[in-house]
């Protein structure tokens, strides 16, 4: 398994955990919205995982904790990729 595949699975696991815990609730809302827009559940989760990845990169770059406002902003922007 390539490093890219490992990261993809880890980011998807974060999405699954957010959905199970309903924390933040915007993750589930975004999943439902994307599915209503015609995305499959798998594709919607992959889009959400891009936000997880972007937030983790931002956290590492700035050496700061998770920024919930930024993460939620990115969820609302989907299917456009996080900036």
pLDDT at residue 4 tops 90: no
Give the pLDDT confidence score for residue 38 in this predicted structure.
98
Helices (DSSP H) in 2-77: which residue ranges? Answer: 3-21, 25-36, 41-62, 68-77
Give the pLDDT confidence of 9-27 residue by residue, as tens digits.
Answer: 999 999 999 999 999 999 9
**Cα–Cα distance for residue pair 51/73, rounded to 1 Å:** 9
Distance CA 80, CA 83 (A): 9
Residue spans per domain, the chain: 9-15+25-77
| Percent of the chain whose predicted confidence (pLDDT) is above 90 | 93
């Amino acid at each position: 398994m390539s490093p890219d595949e490992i990261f993809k699975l880890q980011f998807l696991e974060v999405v699954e955990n957010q959905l199970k815990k309903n924390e933040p609730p915007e993750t589930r809302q975004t999943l439902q919205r994307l599915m209503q827009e015609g995305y499959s559940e798998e594709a919607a989760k992959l889009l959400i995982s891009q936000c997880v990845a972007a937030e983790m990169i931002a956290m590492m770059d700035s050496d700061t904790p998770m920024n919930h406002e930024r993460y939620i902003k990115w969820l609302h922007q989907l299917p456009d990729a996080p900036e």
